[in-house]
Every structure is written in C-alpha cells, then in structure tokens.
C-alpha cells in the first residue's frame, strides 16, 4: 500500500512538473516570451519597430514614444468646495485607441508621509491613436491637509508628493502601483483664500 502511494505521488509530481520543465527548456533563450504573451508585446511595441527582438532595458520591449502624462499649468484649488483640480495631457502613441475608464490614487507628502487626499478623474476618456488629450484629475482635501499645505507654503512654494495605491483601468487592463514619487508640485495660491 505504501509503495502504491509513493508511486502515485511520484507520478503526480512528474505529471505536474514535466510540462513546466519542457516549456522553460523550449524558451530558455528568451524567457520573456514565456511570461509576456506576443499580443501584449505587439501592442506595446512601436509600429515602426518590426523586430521581434526584446530587451530588458526597454529599448525594444516598450514603445519609446510612451511618456508619462505632463502637467499643464498649476494646480487649482476651490476653497468653497475644498477641491483641487490639476490638468495633465497625454498622447496615445499606440495604433490602438485607449480608454481611461477609471483612475483613483491617494496623495501623500514625500518627506513627511502626511496623507493629503484622494484624486480621481470625473469621467472616462477615450484616446484615439496619436491623439493628445487633457486629463483633469480632481481631489477633495481635508481640513488637516489644507492646514498642512498652508504651513508648508510659508517656507516653500512647492511640495514633493507621492502617489499611493494607484489604481487605473486603461481599456480594461487594471494597473496597480503601491507608491510612486511624482516630484515637486506647486502649492496653489488659492489655498490661502
């Protein structure tokens, strides 16, 4: 009975591990193809780059035309509603339309870790191939966040911020990021109104 049990255990292990080992062996020269489906690679690669070669440093795996959204002007604060708005523009470098269905993220001070609020977009956006679109993000600041910004504004005109718990739904693809520094952002002068 023990021999039969041992044989069945070994058979189960062999049945489970053999296909995995064969796949790794087949892709031993390019493990990236084992992990990233070719459809995703083709979507992300530039249409001008017809090479199937992939690179760890991002030169051919990622479309070099991808850029982070760029701020437009300064953040605006409405003291009556305690809402902050900031406009970013983004150019879709893909040959495929994108839809920004949802964006939710928390904002904290990079140096102090003080939570300032959450921001989101007010409506889904469609980005056609090659189109540059303005993305308006909105956030509501707590009284503690306003007091914190007022205290910082006495000695500095900008504050280094981090995004936390970034959740984005881009054309049905869910992106999540725990923490990302976004750099110095000007403190809106309307904060003193």
10: helix, strand or coil: helix
User: Looking at residues 13-33, what average pLDDT do you find?
Assistant: 84
Which of the residue ranges 5-9, 30-34, 107-111 would you say has the lowest mean pLDDT? 30-34
Is pLDDT at 41 greater than 60 in this prediction? yes
> How confident is the model at residue 45, as a pLDDT?
58
Rounding to the nearest 10 degrees, give the CA dihedral for residues 54, 59, 62, 66.
Answer: -170
Q: Mean pLDDT throughout 118-133?
A: 90
Is the pTM for the entire model greater than 0.75?
Answer: no
DSSP string, 145-193: HHHHHHHHHTT-SEEEEEEEEEEEEETTEEEEEEEEEEEEEEPPGGGG-
Share of the chain above pLDDT 90, in %: 14
The domain ranges of the chain are 2-35, 70-192
What digits encode the pLDDT tens for the residues 76-107?
888 888 888 988 888 888 888 889 899 899 99
Average pLDDT, the chain: 81
At 138 the pLDDT is 92
Indicate whether 63 pLDDT > 60: no
Which residues neighbour 121 within 8 Å (Cβ) at sequence distance 6 or greater? 100, 102, 103, 135, 136, 137, 138
Residue 193 confidence class, pLDDT cut points 50, 70, 90: low
Question: Is pLDDT of 22 > 50?
Answer: yes
Residue 108, pLDDT score: 92
The per-residue pLDDT for range 1-15, each reduced to its tens digit, is: 888 999 999 999 999
pLDDT greater than 70 at residue 125: yes
Into which CATH architecture does domain 70-192 fall?
Answer: Sandwich (2.60)
């Amino acid at each position: 009975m023990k021999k039969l049990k041992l044989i069945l255990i070994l058979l189960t292990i062999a049945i489970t591990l053999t296909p995995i080992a064969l796949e790794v062996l087949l892709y031993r020269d390019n493990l990236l193809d084992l992990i990233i489906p070719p459809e995703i690679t083709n979507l992300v690669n530039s249409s001008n780059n017809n090479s199937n070669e992939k690179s760890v440093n991002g030169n051919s795996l990622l479309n070099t035309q991808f850029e982070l959204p760029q701020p437009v002007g300064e953040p605006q604060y409405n003291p009556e509603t305690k809402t902050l708005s900031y406009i970013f523009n983004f150019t879709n470098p893909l040959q495929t339309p994108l839809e920004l269905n949802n964006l939710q993220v928390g904002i904290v001070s990079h140096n102090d870790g003080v939570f300032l609020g959450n921001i989101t977009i007010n409506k889904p956006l469609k980005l056609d191939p090659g189109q540059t679109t303005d993305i308006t993000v909105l956030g509501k600041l707590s009284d503690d966040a306003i007091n914190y910004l007022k205290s910082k504004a006495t000695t500095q005109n900008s504050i280094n911020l981090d995004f936390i718990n970034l959740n984005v739904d881009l054309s049905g693809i869910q992106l999540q990021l725990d923490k990302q520094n976004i750099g110095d952002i000007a403190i809106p002068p309307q904060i003193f109104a």
